[in-house]
Structure 1
Amino acid sequence: MDTMYQRGKIQEESLYYEHKKCDGSLTLVGVSTFLPEEHGGDIVIEIELIRSTEGEKGQQIVNVAAFVEAASAATPGAPRLVALQATARERRNVFASLREAVRTRSLGQISQALYDVGGRYRRNK
């Protein structure tokens, strides 16, 4: 795991699989074979993207700031984040510590605490 061997192999196999799908050499039932009789070509479905308005974005930022402030006042010193970091450093299962941390900490705070322990993932090029 430390040498990222598994992740590299997964990326290589995924890329190989995607190339085979795109060039048609991989048989996919219902996509490249066994199509319905009335199928006349590519099926195109229009999907409407729904974007947040500036007001909704602003309100969510205010909500997160209020949550962080209320949680910080209730539990100063962030003991749950410290416990989560300790669990990660010891390479134990972080699920239970993570469940405790989400009760009083935001996703950004939890992510930053874990980044402090293990760093950020950088994709191989």
Structure 2
Amino acid sequence: AITTPTEESVRRAVAIQLIINRELGLNFTENPWQGSFAVDYLTDLVEEAVYKEFEAISERGGVLGAMDTMYQRGKIQEESMYYEHKKHDGSLPLIGVNTYLPKDHAGEVATTIELIRSTEAEKGQQIANVKAFQEARNEVALPNPAEGGKPMKRLQAIARARENLFAALMEAVKTHSLGQISHALYDVGGEYRRNM
């Protein structure tokens, strides 16, 4: 069957070409493929930037020392704000976000996002599902219910000692939900709050 493409499918096809040409900049180099000068040059730039970050972290006493001074968090915030500013002022062209917008967009750069809210019945059902799942899982995973808190206490102790958490996490997920594990780790290290 032969059909006429819809406006949405045409926009998508054109957007793919625009992303390649405008966002990636592949039309500015003769040979953008692996082994070419352009790719090697970009690889060198990335490698240099990564080494600079490694040096910056080493100067702060390694990963743990940098965490104490919140270097990584600050860097993530800084880059996030830089990206958002460039996106909103148009200096970073993003096809379909701030350039080449659809006709019905009315020229606004920031689009509104429609949030989906759960009803009270849906929330109650999900809470009941989690409780039922935990009870069924705990009967299988915990022959002795008195030992139920041990994996979580072990996880917190290892987190306080700043050791590798992987083995303790694997034990904790057998008897605890993601929320319980997250809150246990929040108690140890605190919860990230973005500085404004």
State the TM-score, normalized to the length of structure 2: 0.49
Deviation digits for residues 48-100 of structure 1 (CA, Å, limit 9, x no counterpart): 75543322211222233344455389342312112211221221232332222
- Aligned counterpart for 2:156 among listed residues 85, 104, 108: 85
Distance apart, 1:47 and its partner CA: 8.0
Compare the two structures and name the one with the higher helix fraction. 2
Q: Choose between structure 1 and 2 for higher RCO, CA contacts under 8 A separated by at least 6 residues.
A: 1
Q: What is the aligned-residue RMSD (CA, Å)?
A: 3.3
Task: Give the corresponding residue for 2:171.
Answer: 100
Distance apart, 1:10 and its partner CA: 1.8
Task: Give the corresponding residue for 2:60.
Answer: none
User: Are 1:5 and 2:103 an aligned pair?
Assistant: no
Do the aligned residues in 1 keep the contact of 2:88 with 2:98 (CA within 8 Å)?
Answer: no
Cα pair distance change 1:93/1:8, threshold 3 Å: same
Partners in 1 of 2:114 and 2:93 — Cα distance? Answer: 30
User: Aligned residues: percent identity?
Assistant: 66
Cα pair distance change 1:12/1:47, threshold 3 Å: closer
Partners in 1 of 2:95 and 2:115 — Cα distance? Answer: 29
Cα pair distance change 1:41/1:61, threshold 3 Å: closer
Name which one, 1 or 2, has greater alpha-carbon Rg: 2
Unaligned segments of structure 2, at least 5 residues = 1-66
Number of aligned residue pairs: give it: 122
Partners in 1 of 2:75 and 2:118 — Cα distance? Answer: 37
Unaligned segments of structure 1, at least 5 residues = none
Runs of 4+ in 1 over 6 A off after TM superposition: 45-48
Task: Give the corresponding residue for 2:81.
Answer: 15
Partners in 2 of 1:120 and 1:27 — Cα distance? Answer: 34
Cα pair distance change 1:23/1:81, threshold 3 Å: same
